[in-house]
């Protein structure tokens, strides 16, 4: 139920670019060398014997903190996390920190992320665990103080290698949520409305950046085809600021619509904005602008109605 | 990872069509939107056209690229032509020494996410451009 | 010939197929210039619905065709530019400067037939 099946982890690893080479690189960054593997090998038995105790120290510490309840409150998740953490401790002293080891760390990271475990709290608990491990090494390994210290530092390199993976994975997952939300917001704020047969209204509200401009243009072009639109009223009353970049985006949108055979009427360009655009030297004479939205819709209606009347009347040049 | 780059020799203007079709196929396979497929195909078209117009022949290499957190397509356009004396100028809008609109290279750059042009006089030109899945 | 040209009343319709080479486009220009005179055509519709890429050369040639047609006394409308293609064209910085456009063949013929002057959506 709460076990993380392998596919999302494989997927995450691919997305994060975690492969043999990048794992090797991570090991190099924290400085794990052959010497470290030897030292860790010497205390392997001791750590494995104490794995249960160390695991408890981690979760007891979490349980003692308000923010740690996210994990300790759910029994099923907690049991799985304990199991993984115990495996982690055993794996930590096996000297084999390859792709499979990284995969196990990410599995635990995904679990932490799912319950929304606070990163600070995770780091504190992990540090607490290391402290206990240090104590055990000093007291029971039988190593001389300097040797014991060096062995502990070797273990700490592995611990930092682990932390790097776990923190990266949690941050990546949280950013994914932000990325999804951003695109959802963009999607929502770009409506293209059909208000008459063959006539679209495109109200643009908020900030226009390159990504948003692209989305607006794409959805407008698709709507032109789907609705067989001939006229588009693009209202920019709600655009926060219009500088040369934004103006360029708008001109591109209009040009693309025209390429598809639809004419665009731009409304809602305030006097101040118009003046500042002129001062910036931006040429908007290519745009067909009408003062307000109502005027724009009326003009669009005229242009559509005019085509119906034209069979009986002589051609009248349109004001484009 | 299992994706072999494909290489399209560009010798005649007919090859331009082949190159952009290959690019579109690869983009579709990787899950690019139809708009992005078109942007890629158009950029390939401009780059291939550049090879035919200025170097006579060369090739276009298409491959899948992966970086932490993203995947994309890489286009490499290579030729052993005369090279470009002023790379900065060649990337400026409206500049063209050949019979084109002067949008070729700067235009292709706008269609792609990453764009790098290396050129040596008498040796040739290499354009490396990437587009990432969004 | 790579591009079939149909005659419908006073109008010529050229339907460009996918994956057109540069030469085919240049041939089309020359062929149209000849037929406009022979059939005394009033207008030409170039249907690019099937084109999945319009790059700088393609755009320039289309403009050339339209201007040649106009010089031969026929109005020319480009129809069927797809949303993705239009988007890529503006990203490239291309436009059809003064060449009328319409959504599809039907609209293009309507534009040529029902209206006297230059098209409503000249780009």
- Which CATH number characterizes residue B114's domain? 3.30.565.10
Chain B residues within 8 Å of chain A (Cβ atoms): 1, 35, 66-70
* Candidate from B1, B35, B69 with C-beta closest to A15: B69
Q: How far is C115 from chain A (nearest CA, A)?
A: 7
Query: Residue B99: its pLDDT value, please?
Result: 45
Q: How far is C14 from chain B (nearest CA, A)?
A: 20
3-state helix, strand, coil in chain B (%, to 5): 40, 30, 30
Query: Residue A201: its pLDDT value, please?
Result: 95
Of A231, A259, A305, which to mutate for an interface test with C (greatest number of C Cβ within 10 Å)?
A259
> Which of A32-36, B27-31, C116-120 is the least confident region?
C116-120
Q: Do A22 and B66 touch (CB under 8 A)?
A: no
Query: Residue A315: its pLDDT value, please?
Result: 52
Name the residue ranges covered by the structural domains of chain C.
5-114
Cα dist. A64→A69, A73, B32, B53, C79 in Å? 8, 12, 48, 72, 71
Overall pTM > 0.95: no
Instruction: Give a yes or no: residue B46 inside a domain.
Output: yes
Q: How far is C29 from chain B (nearest CA, A)?
A: 18
**Spatial distance between the Cα atoms of B118 and B129, rounded to a whole number of angstroms:** 11
Instruction: Give a yes or no: residue B126 inside a domain.
Output: yes
Chain A residue numbers touching C86 (CB-CB < 8 A): 221, 256-257, 259-260
Chain A residue numbers touching C84 (CB-CB < 8 A): 221
* Candidate from A16, A19, A218 with C-beta closest to B69: A16
Is the separation of the CB atoms in A59 and A1 below 8 Å?
Answer: no
B53 at the C interface (CB within 8 A)? Answer: no
> Considering chain A, what is the average pLDDT of its residues?
87
B37 at the C interface (CB within 8 A)? Answer: yes
Is the separation of the CB atoms in C88 and C21 below 8 Å?
Answer: no
ipTM of the complex: 0.88
Q: Where are the alpha helices (DSSP H) in C2-115?
A: 22-39, 56-71, 83-92, 105-114
Of the candidates B46, B45, B37, which has an alpha carbon nearest to the alpha carbon of residue B105?
Answer: B46
> Which pair of tokens denotes residue A175?
């950013």
Tally of domains within chain B: 1
Instruction: Give a yes or no: residue B42 inside a domain.
Output: yes
A16 at the B interface (CB within 8 A)? Answer: yes
Q: How far is B35 from chain A (nearest CA, A)?
A: 8
Chain A residue numbers touching B32 (CB-CB < 8 A): none
3-state SS assignment for residue A213: helix
Q: For C5-114, CATH number?
A: 3.30.750.24
**Spatial distance between the Cα atoms of A7 and A138, rounded to a whole number of angstroms:** 41
**Spatial distance between the Cα atoms of C78 and C13, rounded to a whole number of angstroms:** 10
Which residues 152-191 in chain A show a CB within 8 A of chain B? 172
Provide the percentage of residues in chain A whose pLDDT is more than 70.
92
- In total, chain C counts a number of residues equal to 123
Q: Is the predicted pLDDT of residue C117 greater than 60, yes or no?
A: no
A228 at the B interface (CB within 8 A)? Answer: no
Q: Do C102 and A307 touch (CB under 8 A)?
A: no
Nearest CA in chain C to B41: C53
pLDDT digit string (tens) for C29-45? 889 989 999 999 999 99
Judging by beta carbons within 10 Å of its beta carbon (0-12, 13-18, 19+), is residue A187 exposed, middle or buried? exposed
Nearest CA in chain A to C96: A259
Of the candidates B114, B112, B119, which has an alpha carbon nearest to the alpha carbon of residue B23?
Answer: B112
pLDDT, mean of each 10-residue run, chain B (134 residues): 77 91 94 94 94 92 87 94 82 58 78 92 93 90
Answer with the residue of higher pLDDT: C91 or A188: C91
Domain carrying residue B59: 6-132
Counting Cα atoms < 13 Å in the Cβ hemisphere of B23 gives 35
Is the separation of the CB atoms in A234 and A266 below 8 Å?
Answer: yes
Q: Do C81 and A255 touch (CB under 8 A)?
A: no
Nearest CA in chain C to A264: C121
A20 at the B interface (CB within 8 A)? Answer: no
Q: Do B107 and C21 touch (CB under 8 A)?
A: no
Domains in chain A, please, with CATH?
6-183 (1.10.490.10), 193-309 (3.30.750.24)
Is the separation of the CB atoms in C83 and A217 below 8 Å?
Answer: no
One-character DSSP codes across B47-111: HHHHIIIIIS-EEEEEEEEEETTEEEEEEEEEE-SS--S-HHHHTSTT--SSSS-S-HHHHHHHH
Beta bridge mates, B78: B59, B126
C16 at the B interface (CB within 8 A)? Answer: no
- Chains in contact with C via at least 3 Cβ–Cβ pairs below 8 Å: A, B
Mutual orientation of helices A99-114 and A6-16 as an angle, nearest 10°? 110
- The phi-psi region of residue C97 (left if phi > 0; otherwise alpha if psi is between -120 and 50; otherwise beta) is left
Q: How confident is the model at residue C118 (pLDDT cuts 50, 70, 90)?
A: very low
Q: Is the predicted pLDDT of residue A151 greater than 70, yes or no?
A: yes
Chain A residue numbers touching B70 (CB-CB < 8 A): 15
Q: How confident is the model at residue A313 (pLDDT cuts 50, 70, 90)?
A: low
Q: Is the predicted pLDDT of residue C122 greater than 70, yes or no?
A: no
Q: Do C56 and B100 touch (CB under 8 A)?
A: yes
pLDDT digit string (tens) for A172-214? 988 888 888 877 776 666 789 998 999 999 998 887 888 888 8
> Which pair of tokens denotes residue B73?
């397509």
Answer with the residue of higher pLDDT: A319 or A294: A294
With b for 16 or more beta-carbon neighbours within 10 A and e for fewer, the C42-52 pattern comes to: ebbbbbbbebb
**Spatial distance between the Cα atoms of A270 and C10, rounded to a whole number of angstroms:** 46
Instruction: Give a yes or no: residue B1 inside a domain.
Output: no
Q: How far is A188 from chain C (nearest CA, A)?
A: 21
Number of other CB atoms surrounding residue B46 within 10 Å? 26
Q: Computed over its alpha carbons, how large is the radius of gyration of chain C?
A: 13
Q: How confident is the model at residue A2 (pLDDT cuts 50, 70, 90)?
A: very low
> Which pair of tokens denotes residue C63?
């403009």
* Candidate from B17, B24, B106 with C-beta closest to C21: B17
pLDDT digit string (tens) for A55-98? 999 999 988 888 877 777 788 888 999 999 999 999 999 999 99
* Candidate from A222, A303, A317 with C-beta closest to C83: A222
B86 at the C interface (CB within 8 A)? Answer: no
Nearest CA in chain A to C87: A256
- Chains in contact with B via at least 3 Cβ–Cβ pairs below 8 Å: A, C
């Amino acid at each position: 139920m709460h076990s993380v099946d392998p596919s999302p982890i494989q997927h995450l690893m691919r997305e994060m670019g975690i492969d043999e080479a990048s794992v090797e690189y991570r090991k190099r960054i924290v400085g794990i060398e052959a010497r470290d593997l030897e030292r860790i090998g010497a205390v392997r038995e001791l750590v494995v014997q104490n794995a249960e105790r160390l695991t408890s120290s981690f979760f007891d510490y979490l349980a003692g903190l308000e923010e740690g309840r996210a994990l300790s409150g759910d029994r099923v998740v907690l049991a799985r996390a304990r199991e993984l953490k115990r495996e982690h401790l055993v794996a930590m002293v096996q000297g084999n920190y390859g792709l499979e080891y990284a995969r196990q760390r990410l599995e635990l990271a995904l679990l932490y992320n799912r319950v929304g475990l606070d990163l600070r709290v995770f780091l504190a608990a992990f540090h607490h665990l290391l402290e206990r491990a240090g104590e055990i090494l000093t007291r029971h390994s039988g190593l001389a103080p300097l040797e014991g210290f060096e062995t502990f530092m070797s273990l700490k390199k592995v611990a930092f290698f682990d932390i790097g993976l776990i923190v990266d994975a949690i941050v990546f997952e949280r950013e994914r949520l932000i990325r999804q939300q951003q695109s959802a917001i963009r999607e929502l704020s770009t409506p293209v409305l059909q208000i008459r047969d063959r006539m679209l209204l495109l109200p643009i509200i908020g900030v226009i950046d390159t990504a948003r401009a692209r989305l607006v243009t794409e959805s407008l072009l698709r709507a032109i085809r789907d609705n067989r639109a001939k006229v588009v009223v693009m209202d920019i009353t709600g655009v926060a600021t219009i500088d040369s970049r934004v103006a360029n985006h708008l001109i591109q949108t209009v040009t693309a619509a025209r390429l598809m055979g639809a004419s665009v009427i731009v409304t809602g360009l305030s006097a101040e904005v118009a003046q500042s655009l002129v001062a910036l030297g931006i040429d908007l004479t290519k745009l067909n602008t009408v003062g307000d939205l109502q005027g724009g819709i009326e003009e669009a209606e005229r242009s559509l109605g005019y085509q119906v009347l034209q069979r009986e009347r002589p051609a009248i040049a349109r004001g484009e | 990872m299992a994706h072999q780059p494909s290489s399209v020799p560009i010798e005649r203007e007919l090859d331009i069509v082949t190159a952009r079709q290959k690019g579109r196929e690869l983009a579709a396979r990787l899950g690019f939107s139809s708009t992005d497929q078109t942007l890629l195909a158009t950029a390939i078209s401009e780059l291939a056209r550049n090879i035919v117009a200025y170097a006579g022949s060369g090739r276009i290499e298409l491959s899948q690229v992966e970086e932490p957190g993203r995947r994309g397509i890489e286009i490499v356009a290579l030729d052993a032509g005369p090279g470009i004396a002023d790379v900065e100028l060649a990337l400026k809008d409206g500049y063209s020494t050949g019979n084109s609109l002067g949008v070729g290279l700067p235009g292709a750059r706008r269609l792609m996410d990453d764009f790098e042009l290396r050129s040596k006089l008498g040796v040739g030109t290499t354009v490396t451009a990437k587009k990432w899945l969004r | 010939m790579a591009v079939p040209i149909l005659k419908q009343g006073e109008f010529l319709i050229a339907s460009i197929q996918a994956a057109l080479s540069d030469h085919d486009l240049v041939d089309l220009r020359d062929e149209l210039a000849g037929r406009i005179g022979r059939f005394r055509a009033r207008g030409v519709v170039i249907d690019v619905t099937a084109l999945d890429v319009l790059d700088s050369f393609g755009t320039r040639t289309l403009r050339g065709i339209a201007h040649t047609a106009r010089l031969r006394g026929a109005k020319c409308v480009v129809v069927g530019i797809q949303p993705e293609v239009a988007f890529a064209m503006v990203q490239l910085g291309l436009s059809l400067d003064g060449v009328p456009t319409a959504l599809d063949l039907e609209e293009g013929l309507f534009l040529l037939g029902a209206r006297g002057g230059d098209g409503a959506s000249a780009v």
